[in-house]
Chains A and B, each alone.
Chain A
Amino acid sequence: AQSVTQPDIHITVSEGASLELRCNYSYGATPYLFWYVQSPGQGLQLLLKYFSGDTLVQGIKGFEAEFKRSQSSFNLRKPSVHWSDAAEYFCAGSNDYKLSFGAGTTVTVRA
């Protein structure tokens, strides 16, 4: 079945430190992949997307993600986190008619 998996349920990181969130995908062909962020009480906001081409994609808020076909991964990174980055992060993959989300990773930022 087509799916994305986020192995980390919760990550705590210090403000100013780097952040990496893992995402693995299982699709028959090269999938379209996305990262969304959900701040407390808010809807889902797209951070970045990968369709094809360059394997390193840049997103909003200083985030980037790298597509690695050999590892079936699409990990999200940020070099230096801010307290406002505390949120739930969802990796997602799509076919024509639906977007399927991973279980999410909660990021806590400590001062």
Chain B
Amino acid sequence: EPEVTQTPSHQVTQMGQEVILRCVPISNHLYFYWYRQILGQKVEFLVSFYNNEISEKSEIFDDQFSVERPDGSNFTLKIRSTKLEDSAMYFCASSEEGASTGELFFGEGSRLTVL
């Protein structure tokens, strides 16, 4: 069964460093998303991406964050200068249709620890 894969599974970084989290969505999907979950808290929407541009972003997704689809298979989330509060589990998701009608398939997450 096709699945969304994320790398790395866990990354530890120093505050102020740049981090890139990678995702390989399901191949025929057109909509891509990043969510994050701070330990013990709810899953929060960060950004959605369609047709090579951001469709919607939350207030969390400030100028420190960016997303890119550098080739036909990868979807990346970059945090330019990490802060302690960026420590969280980051989930990538993809869907064949938009979120209102299509099921989102989630990866297993990338745990980011900022020291």
Q: CB within 8 Å of B: which residues of A?
A: 32, 34, 36, 42-46, 49, 51, 90, 94-104
Known: A43-B106, A98-B99, A101-B45. 15 other contacts (CB 8 A): A32-B99, A34-B103, A43-B109, A44-B43, A45-B106, A49-B103, A90-B43, A96-B98, A96-B99, A96-B100, A97-B48, A98-B48, A101-B35, A101-B44, A104-B43
- CB B104 to nearest CB in A, in angstroms, measures 6
Q: Is the CB of A94 within 8 A of B108?
A: no
B18 at the A/B interface (Cβ < 8 Å)? no
CB-CB < 8 A to B105: which residues of A?
A: 46
- CB A97 to nearest CB in B, in angstroms, measures 4
CB-CB < 8 A to A42: which residues of B?
A: 108
Q: Is the CB of B42 within 8 A of A101?
A: yes
CB-CB < 8 A to A90: which residues of B?
A: 42-43
Q: Is the CB of A104 within 8 A of B42?
A: yes
Q: CB within 8 Å of A: which residues of B?
A: 31, 33, 35, 41-45, 48, 50, 55-56, 58, 91, 93, 98-101, 103-109
CB-CB < 8 A to A49: which residues of B?
A: 103
Q: Which residue of A lies closest to B6 (CB)?
A: A43
Q: Is the CB of A32 within 8 A of B42?
A: no
